[in-house]
């Protein structure tokens, strides 16, 4: 596509929400660069500002609206000419946003990240919202990964075909759709050529990868292909539904040395009654069997989970069942969020609702338990050796570099500080753990 013949030349992106949204933002940025626009880090310098919004839960929606209002101020304090709302919040509430926020020049849904090719010359409509859906890039789709980082996310699928009672993602993104294996491999090769060492595979439900494609294609087959890609050091799996494919994955891991021993498996709850209410499709006993199998077969695997508290009708006994399960399994990392009442979901009208004070209290208890477990699990690493991916120079006194070991996913699991090393950005070093807390490690190279 030829560059825009326009006086507008600068654009700034704000990406909110999950890693999958980050990938969409990078695709938009890639298209902008291809069209001749210059991406600027400071919104003061931007003639176009794009906010890729999140609409998953209430707090995310509030953050999105607040960010849009903050960016609108650059019409007077900066060079802003066009303010754009894109992404999930726009998909769900596009007409309402356009009606109530005259500050917005354009509102685009999740199926139109390529809107940038029409926006500057004003051929794009102000509002463009289609049915629930998504945009899956192919190898020809440009992508701009801003900043220097040896790690990047790669979206292997989008949408979700499950029907959890609390989740609005299928209403926003539509049914699951997987990218082709060869296409994903080519993107990994391209990323490796640009110096990326760690690929984090993401989807709304990574376990379901390939089920909508030809028979025989699944997550394990994809990993076998990607494992042979030169230049890549680590492959990390995020957002795995507690599915039987994980059993196949455990069997395959010894033959997949690039797949790091780290599994992110959001369980949401561990009370049978709550799991049924949430329409999760399994029982606490099956969760326990899966986690016990992981710990027994691969004790070196780091486990992360996410849970939901304050779901309608959640009792003290339900919550205790969740606490007891987390204490028993000892996930290395635990994330938690409060139930958010979302229009169109099966749980929207469910009564009785848990009072906010109670759900906040339960959230605090979960996070306190998670910190205690993480601190204990990290302490077990003291004196042991770990592989660390070097990400940059450390700001803290006494630390030369920082990075992450295999048990730390980007942005959510803490960092590893290196006391002395001549390693370079993107190197993987072997180091001994000399100190730890609930989140971070301190290591010295061997």
147 has a pLDDT exceeding 80? no
Question: How many Å apart are CA 255 and CA 147, to the nearest integer?
Answer: 33
pLDDT in tens, 361-387: 999 999 999 999 999 999 999 999 999
pLDDT at residue 185 is higher than 90: yes
| 120 — pLDDT class (breaks 50, 70, 90) | low
| Cis preceding linkage at 43, omega within 30 | no
Would the pLDDT of 2 be above 50? no
Q: How far is CA 196 from CA 25, 145, 193, 201, 385, in A?
A: 18, 10, 7, 13, 24
Query: Residue 127 is encoded by which pair of tokens?
Result: 């509002």
- The C-alpha atoms of residue 113 and residue 86 are separated, in whole angstroms, by 8
> Binning pLDDT at 50, 70 and 90, where does residue 398 land?
low
Total-model pTM: 0.91
DSSP readout, 308-351?
EE--TT--HHHHHHHHHHHHHH--SEEEEEE----TTSTTTT-S
End-to-end, the C-alpha distance of the chain in Å comes to: 51
More confident residue, 314 or 129: 314
343: pLDDT strictly greater than 80: yes
Residue 315: how many CB atoms within 10 A of its CB?
12
So where are the chain's domains? 10-128, 151-379, 385-445
Asked whether residue 421 carries a pLDDT value surpassing 80, the answer given is no
- pLDDT band of 121, cuts 50, 70, 90: low
User: Can you give the pLDDT at residue 132?
Assistant: 77
Tell me the fold of 385-445: OB fold (Dihydrolipoamide Acetyltransferase, E2P) (2.40.50)
* CATH number of the domain located at residue range(s) 151-379 in this protein: 3.80.30.20
User: CA–CA separation, 323 vs 339, rounded Å?
Assistant: 16
User: What pLDDT, on a 0 to 100 scale, did the predictor assign at position 6?
Assistant: 52
Instruction: Name the residue among 243, 335, 338, 250 with its Cα closest to residue 287.
Output: 243
pLDDT at 15 over 90: yes
pLDDT reported for residue 140: 84
- The reported pLDDT for the residue numbered 3 is 46
* Average pLDDT value for residue range 278-302: 92
pLDDT in tens, 52-101: 999 878 888 889 999 999 999 998 888 899 999 998 999 988 889 999 99
Phi, psi of 127 (to 5 degrees): -125, 130
397 confidence band (pLDDT: 50, 70, 90): low
Mean of per-residue pLDDT scores for the chain: 90
Lookup: tokens for 347? 């749980």
Q: Do residues 417 and 440 lie in contact, with contact meaning Cβ atoms separated by under 8 Å?
A: yes
CATH of region 10-128 = 3.40.50.12160
pLDDT in tens, 214-230: 778 999 999 999 999 99
CA distance 88 to 25: 12
Strand order, beta sheet including 48-53: 38-39, 10-15, 48-53, 82-87, 106-108, 127-128
Q: Collect contacts of 122-131 with beta carbons under 8 A, ≥24 apart.
A: 126/98, 127/94, 127/95, 127/98, 129/90, 129/91, 129/94, 129/95, 131/174
Residue 29 and residue 145: Cα distance in Å, rounded?
Answer: 8
Cβ neighbours of residue 294 closer than 8 Å, sequence gap 6 or more: 246, 250, 263, 301, 303
| Residue whose tokens read 């294996």 | 181
């Amino acid at each position: 596509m030829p560059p825009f013949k326009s006086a507008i030349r600068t654009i700034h992106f704000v990406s909110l929400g999950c890693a999958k949204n980050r990938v969409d933002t990078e695709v938009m940025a890639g298209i902008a660069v291809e069209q001749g626009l210059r991406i600027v880090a400071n919104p003061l310098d931007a003639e176009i500002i794009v906010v890729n919004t999140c609409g998953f839960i209430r707090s995310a929606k509030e953050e999105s609206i607040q960010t849009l209002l903050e960016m609108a101020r650059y019409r007077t304090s900066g060079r802003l000419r066009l303010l754009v709302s894109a992404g999930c919040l726009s998909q769900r509430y596009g007409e309402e946003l356009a009606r109530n926020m005259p500050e917005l020049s354009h509102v685009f849904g999740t199926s139109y990240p390529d809107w940038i090719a029409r926006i500057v010359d004003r051929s794009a409509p102000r509002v463009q919202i289609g049915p629930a859906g998504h945009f899956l890039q192919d190898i020809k789709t440009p992508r701009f990964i801003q900043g220097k980082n040896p790690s990047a996310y790669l979206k292997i699928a989008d949408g979700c075909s499950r029907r959890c009672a609390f989740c609005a993602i299928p209403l926003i993104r539509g049914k699951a759709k997987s990218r082709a294996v060869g296409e994903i491999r080519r993107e990994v090769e391209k990323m490796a050529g640009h110096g990326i060492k760690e690929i984090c595979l993401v989807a709304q439900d990574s376990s379901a990868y390939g089920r909508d494609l030809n028979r025989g294609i699944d997550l394990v087959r994809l990993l076998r292909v990607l494992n042979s890609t030169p230049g890549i050091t680590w492959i990390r799996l995020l957002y795995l539904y507690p599915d039987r494919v994980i059993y196949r994955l455990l069997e395959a891991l010894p033959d997949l040395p690039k797949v790091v021993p780290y599994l992110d498996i959001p369980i949401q709850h561990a009370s049978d009654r709550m799991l049924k209410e949430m329409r999760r499709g399994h029982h606490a006993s099956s969760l326990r069997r899966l986690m016990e199998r992981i710990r027994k077969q691969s004790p070196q695997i780091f486990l992360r989970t996410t849970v939901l508290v304050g779901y309608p009708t959640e009792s003290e006994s339900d919550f205790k069942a969740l606490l007891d399960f987390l204490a028993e399994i000892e996930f290395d990392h635990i994330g938690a969020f409060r139930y958010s009442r979302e229009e169109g979901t099966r749980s929207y009208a469910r009564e009785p609702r848990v009072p906010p004070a109670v759900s906040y209290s339960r959230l605090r208890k979960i996070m306190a338990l998670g910190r205690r477990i993480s601190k204990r699990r990290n302490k077990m690493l003291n004196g042991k050796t770990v592989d660390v991916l070097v990400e940059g120079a450390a700001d803290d006194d006494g630390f030369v570099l920082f990075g992450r070991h295999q048990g730390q996913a980007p942005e959510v699991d803490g960092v590893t500080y290196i006391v002395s090393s001549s390693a370079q950005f993107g190197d993987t070093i072997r180091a001994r753990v000399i100190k730890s807390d609930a989140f971070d490690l301190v290591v010295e190279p061997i």
